[in-house]
Structure 1
């Protein structure tokens, strides 16, 4: 009778351990940020910092958290909305508070795109990649942004510049 239990215990143990799955840990499941580099309009090959730069999403009351506020920057990485096909930002040069109001030179810039969801894994779920990236600068008489060039219309990583802004 004991000889019958040993194979049954072996089969139960095999099924129990065979049903185990590896732990799902999400390592690379983040939606990529769009990378923008700023260049000198008079010398397009040279990076040029934007002084006291601040960036705020259109319709938002706070600054974009991926960009250090009111610092001199020649490169930024910003998030795009994953639930819409357009994201708007206020790009503010020489930002300062005067009587609790923004006193910098403000340009409004929209980025338009097509979202493409990509399944990463069960742990990570889906991320959004952005295709056919385009830009729309609200033209004013005194824009500090002079020109915009889309370098890579596909945003699928945050390692290389997608947009060049000349000022």
Structure 2
């Protein structure tokens, strides 16, 4: 009888578990940006020593998760992923090209302000909610220069996909 009671209690305990106790779904996505040549807009362009810093911050955004040390904050690729502020509907970043150059004339900073709406979406019991963003149609991205007026290194910006629901698609293309 004790064995039967133990088996019943054991079965009840483990039958209440669900398969989704581990979150394998994507959480809140980051904004995916790809860089292209302005002359031939089908050719991707690597950005040398790109550093991205949120407005009011001093520590750059992690652009290379697999790197170590300071190289985590630099990108020499044609694609980056950056987070948007989930506590506001605006995020401003400073994009610095040639950020490690010893020649100050080669370092160039442009600012991008992203304007969007937020929506919390239920994913699953294990994952909870994720936030998706929708870039505004009229003023989704505003480009400004530094007070030094060093000229824009970003020649043109195109919003490819206003809905930021996944990191598997390009949201913004920037032409150099």
Query: Shorter-normalised TM-score: what interval?
Result: 0.7 to 0.9
* Contact 1:29-1:126 at 8 Å conserved across structures: no
1:66 deviates by 3.2
Larger radius of gyration: 1
Which runs of no fewer than 5 residues in structure 2 stay unpaired? Answer: 65-71
Q: Does residue 47 of structure 2 align to residue 47 of structure 1?
A: no
Q: Deviations over 1:89-138 (max 9, x none)?
A: 1100011276xx9x721111111111111111222111111113410111
Task: Note the aligned Cα RMSD (angstroms).
Answer: 2.7
TM-score normalised according to structure 2 size: 0.78
Match of residue 132 from structure 1: 135
Give 1 or 2: higher strand fraction: 1
Q: Does residue 64 of structure 2 align to residue 58 of structure 1?
A: no
2:116 maps to which of 113, 116, 133: 113
Q: Deviations over 1:27-83 (max 9, x none)?
A: 114111111000111221111111111111111111111344334221101111111
TM-score normalised according to structure 1 size: 0.82
Residues 13-162 of structure 1 correspond to what in structure 2 (within 5 A)? 13=9, 16-17=12-13, 20-22=16-18, 24-67=21-64, 68-96=72-100, 104-133=107-136, 134-139=140-145, 141=149, 142-162=151-171
Count of residues in Structure 1 that have an aligned counterpart in Structure 2:
159
